[in-house]
Amino acid sequence: MKRILLSALLAAGCGAMNTPTPTTPSIKDAKVSGQYNLVLTSAKGNGTTNIYTDFTQTGATFTGAANTLVCPSNDSSQCKGDDHVISITPSGTVSGTNVTIVVSVPSTAGADSVTMIGLATGTSLAGTYTDNLGDSGTWTAFTAIHPFGPPPGVYNYSGTFNSTSNPLLIAPTISIELGQDASSYIGANLTGRATIMNSPCIGSLTLSGQAIGDAFSLTDAASKASIIALPTLPTGDSFTFSYRFETTAARCAGDFGRGVLTINLSPWDY
């Protein structure tokens, strides 16, 4: 009887020692989706390059919009992409918090293929980059500071501009009201109007276009005018822009120039 009781106690004791092996929690893949601003800073004296795009993620891969803007020195007049001639589409992958982005940019020295490797912290990204032309440095990325909300929300901007080809002594002023296009199911599509004062050839524009990160690209088809505006980071409250009228435009034909805008924030802005 004592032997049977002892065996039972030993069996119970051994069972108590069989604790389950703890499992390592899986790390969820980072989310890289929406309007993004990227800033690349060269470690070899080549300055900065800003990239504006809208990422769409499927599983562990994501792609940038076909109207991605690549802007050396954040200069709107030097931007590549979204010109209906060159299309730049970044692509990327995520594995946990590890992020890789590849973008190929046409240049006079041949295609410049840039590879960015980094980590995601929430919606912010950062790391190092190299390219096939010998440049390297660091990069950061973050979601749009002033994304456009659904209608009827709008942003209002005000500023000045002047012609590069025919500069005026008194710079014209411009006011822009811009919001999502209510007739479109694509949130990045924009519509709006501009009111211009002191210009000898144009008084208003009817605008349509796209938000690209915090940048935006606009056209007035009837007036044959185009505008590309880039935010001044990191605040994104001011913008520089370049404009151009086609040589066949009824007014301001062939005119081009540059300007500045300030976003006029109010409690009603989205």
**CA dist list (Å): 94 to 26, 97, 101, 126, 199:** 14, 7, 9, 13, 49
Q: What is the pLDDT of residues 136-193, one digit of tens each?
A: 999 999 999 999 888 888 999 999 999 998 999 999 999 999 999 988 767 789 999 9
pLDDT at 99: 97
What average pLDDT does this structure show over 245-261? 96
Q: Which residue has the higher pLDDT, 66 or 202?
A: 202
168-178: burial string, b at 16+ Cβ within 10 Å, e else: eeebbebbbeb
Q: Quick one: pLDDT band at residue 69, thresholds 50, 70, 90?
A: very high
Share of the chain above pLDDT 70, in %: 86
What's the mean pLDDT in 8-12?
Answer: 46
> Does residue 270 or residue 126 have the better pLDDT?
126
Domain stops at, among 111, 143, 175: 143
- Give the residue among 178, 187, 124, 183 at the shortest CA–CA distance from 156: 178
The pLDDT assigned to 36 comes to 96
The predicted model scores a pTM of: 0.85
User: Which residues face 172 on adjacent strands?
Assistant: none
Q: What confidence category does residue 269 fall into, taking pLDDT thresholds of 50, 70 and 90?
A: very low
Number of independent structural domains in the chain:
2
Q: Are residues 125 and 181 in the same domain?
A: no
Same domain, 158 and 139: no
- Determine the residue type at 68: T
Residues 41 and 137 in one domain: yes
Give the chain's mean pLDDT. 88
Q: Domain of 213?
A: 154-264
